[in-house]
Structure 1
Amino acid sequence: MKKIIAAIDALHFSDEQVEAFKYIAREAESPLTVVCLDDIVSELTPMGTMYPGGYAYNYEQITAESRAALEFQRDKNLKQLHEICDGSNVDIKVRETAGVPAEKVVEESRFADLLLIGNSTSFATLYDTDPPRFVKDLLAEAECPVMVLPEVMSPVKEIIFSYNGTFSSMYAIRQFTELFPGYADMPVKVVYVAENNNKVMPWEPQLREYLDMHYDTVEYIILNGEPATEFLALLIHRKDCIVTYGAYGRSGVSRFFHRSDADNILRTVNIPVFITHP
C-alpha cells in the first residue's frame, strides 16, 4: 500500500471531486487521507483590494456575521464530506487543517507517496490564473509526486508516458509505475517528440527493457514538430487516459518539460496529469 493524500478546499469542493480522489486510491489499491484546508481569513478579505487606499484587516475588523456564515458553510461541507467518505469502499481518513493552504499541503506531501489535487482548486479571493496559482505552486514545490485530476473522472483505459530521454522524464515513469502496479495490463504509449532533428528515441533499448518488465503492451510513438504543440494535439480530445510529465518548474531540463508546456496541458485537456521531479 501507498500513502495517498488529497487536498481540498473545505469551503469549495464537489462530490465529483471526492469521487475522483476515491477512484485513484482504488486504482492504487491504497487508503486515502483527505486534507481539508480551511482559509476563512482569506475568504473574508477581498474587499480590501477594491478601494484605492485599501484598508488593513485583522480579526477584529472581520464582521462576526460573515465569519459565522463561512464557518457554518465549512461545517456543513465537512459533514457532507464525512458522509461521502463513510459510505465508501475505500479506506478514507479526513484531516482538518487551517493556515496557508500551499504551505500546509507541501508539509503533508513530505510524508506521502502521492498527492492528489483538483485542476480547479483555488484559494484566490478575487481572480486567479489558469491553472490556479495554488495548483502551480504545489506542482513546483510538493515533495512527492502530484496527480492533478479533472472535475469529473473518466475510467482510465490507457497510460501515456511523455519521454525525451532525460532523467526527469524517466523518473516520472518509474514513480508512476511503482505507485500503480495494478496497471501492468493497461495499454501504454510512450510518446517522444523529436528534438534537435534527433528522430531516434533516446536510450530506446534500455527503455524497452524496463517497460517490458512492468507492462504487457507498450507502443512507442515518435512525433515531429514543436513538443508542446504536438503533445497537446495528441491529448486534447482524450478523457480516458493518464499522462506523465517530469520536472515541473525546475531549471536545467529539456524544453519539452517546461512549466508553461505542462500549464498548457492542464489548461486545455480533461485528463489526469501526473507530474513529479527528482
Structure 2
Amino acid sequence: MKKIIVVFNGINAPWHILRFATNIAKTSDAVVHGIFLMDREIKDPYPNDLALTETDVTRGTVIEEDAILESHNISMFENTCKISGVDCQVEKNVLLEELIEQSRQADLIIADTTPDFQEYSLNDILKDSHCPVCLVSINTPVVEKILFLYNGSASSKFAIEKFNDLFTNWAHLPATLLTINPSEKFENDEFLNNWLPKHFKQLDNVQLHGNEKKELVNFLNKDANNVLVVMGAFGRNIISRFFHHSLSNIILNETKVSLFTTHK
C-alpha cells in the first residue's frame, strides 16, 4: 500500500479516522493524503434573525471563521502525522469530482461512518471511487475482528480478495464468514471451502435465516466494537447499485461497526 486518502469536511475533523489511517500507514510505509473537501456553499446565516442581534454576523465573517478552523485542523493533521512518523500530504478546497479522480492513484480511501457533509453524501464516494473505501466508526479504534458478508456474488468475492491484498497483516485476526439464507450451491463453493480457510486461519462460518436486513443488524449489534465488515460495493447495473446502497446504508445507520467495501 502506497497512498491512503483520508477525507475530511474542512471545519469538522473526526480524528479517529486519522489515527486509523496512521496505524495502517506505519505498517505499510504508505503516505497519508489528507483531503479537506469543499463541502458547503456559505449563505447568509439566519437572515430573518439578523435584525434581532447586536452582533454583525455576515457571510464574510462565517467564511473567515471557517477558514481559521480549517487551518487549525490542517495543522493538527500535519502534527499528528509527524508525531506518528508518517509521511503526509494535504489539499484543501477539494471538490468531490477531484477526490474521485484522485482515487485512481490511491490504494484506499478512509472516511468517517457519520461524516458531517452538507453538500455530499457517503454514497457519492462509495458508488464512484476507483479504489476501496473504508468507513471507520469511532467504535473501531483498532480492528480486532473481521466479518465477511458473503452472498456468492463476484462482488463479494472481489471485496474479500482485495481486503486480503491490502491487509495481509490482519490475516491472523478472528474472522467470521456470514451468509444469510445461503443457497445449496455454497456447499461446493471453491472460494468458501478452499480459498478463505487458506488465507484466514481463525475463520468461523455463520449462517442466518430470515429477513436479510433484520438478521444482519441483529447479528452485528451483538458485538459491534472493533469490528470491520467487508462487503462488495455498488455494481455497474441499477439493480446491483440499489441493493448495495440499501444494505450499506443499513449497516452504517443501524450499527456501530466499520465498513470496508470496493467494486471492480
Aligned position for 1:180: 167
Aligned position for 1:118: 112
Alpha-carbon spacing, 1:243–1:117, altered in 2? closer, same or farther (3 Å): same
Aligned position for 1:141: 128
1:97 aligns with 2:92: yes
Indicate if the aligned counterparts of 1:4 and 1:30 stay in contact, CA closer than 8 A: no
Aligned position for 2:66: 70
Find 2:155's aligned residue among 155, 168, 185.
Answer: 168
1:216 aligns with 2:225: no
SS of alignment partner, residue 105 of structure 2: coil
Alpha-carbon spacing, 1:24–1:253, altered in 2? closer, same or farther (3 Å): farther
Residue by residue, what CA displacement relative to the aligned partner does 1:78-137 show, whole Å, maximum 9, x if unpaired?
122222121114x2313213242x222211111111111111223317xxxxxxx42111
Q: Structure 1: how far apart are the matches of 2:251 and 2:163?
A: 18
Q: Once the 2 structures are TM-superposed, how far is the Cα of residue 47 of structure 1 from its aligned partner? A: 4.5
Q: Which runs of 5+ in 1 are unaligned?
A: 52-61, 126-132
Alpha-carbon spacing, 1:270–1:46, altered in 2? closer, same or farther (3 Å): farther
Find 1:85's aligned residue among 75, 81, 85.
Answer: 81
Q: What does 1:190-209 align with in structure 2 at a 5 Å threshold?
A: 190-194=177-181, 198=183, 201=186, 203-209=188-194
Q: Structure 2: how far apart are the matches of 1:93 and 1:74?
A: 17
Indicate if the aligned counterparts of 1:11 and 1:38 stay in contact, CA closer than 8 A: no
Q: Structure 1: how far apart are the matches of 2:14 and 2:257?
A: 17
Q: How big is the alpha-carbon RMSD for the aligned residues of Structure 1 and Structure 2?
A: 2.7
Indicate if the aligned counterparts of 1:34 and 1:94 stay in contact, CA closer than 8 A: yes
SS of alignment partner, residue 233 of structure 1: helix
SS of alignment partner, residue 176 of structure 2: strand
Q: Once the 2 structures are TM-superposed, how far is the Cα of residue 260 of structure 1 from its aligned partner? A: 0.9
Q: Once the 2 structures are TM-superposed, how far is the Cα of residue 31 of structure 1 from its aligned partner? A: 1.7
Aligned position for 1:4: 4
Q: Once the 2 structures are TM-superposed, how far is the Cα of residue 227 of structure 1 from its aligned partner? A: 1.5
Going by fraction, where is helix more abundant, 1 or 2?
Answer: 2
Deviation larger for 111-120 or 11-20: 11-20
Number of corresponding residues: 254
Indicate if the aligned counterparts of 2:147 and 2:230 stay in contact, CA closer than 8 A: yes
Q: Give, as a single letter, the amino acid of the residue that structure 2 aligns with 1:242.
A: L
Q: Once the 2 structures are TM-superposed, how far is the Cα of residue 229 of structure 1 from its aligned partner? A: 1.5
- Percent identity, aligned pairs only, is 25
Q: Give, as a single letter, the amino acid of the residue that structure 1 aligns with 2:23.
A: Y
Indicate if the aligned counterparts of 1:193 and 1:222 stay in contact, CA closer than 8 A: yes
Q: Structure 2: how far apart are the matches of 1:25 and 1:252?
A: 35
Find 2:217's aligned residue among 221, 232, 251.
Answer: 232
Indicate if the aligned counterparts of 1:157 and 1:186 stay in contact, CA closer than 8 A: yes
Deviation larger for 62-71 or 209-218: 62-71
SS of alignment partner, residue 221 of structure 1: strand
Alpha-carbon spacing, 1:257–1:64, altered in 2? closer, same or farther (3 Å): closer
Q: Structure 2: how far apart are the matches of 1:261 and 1:209?
A: 27
Q: Which runs of 5+ in 2 are unaligned?
A: 49-57
Q: Once the 2 structures are TM-superposed, how far is the Cα of residue 11 of structure 1 from its aligned partner? A: 1.2
Aligned position for 1:247: 233
TM-score (structure 2 length as normaliser) = 0.85
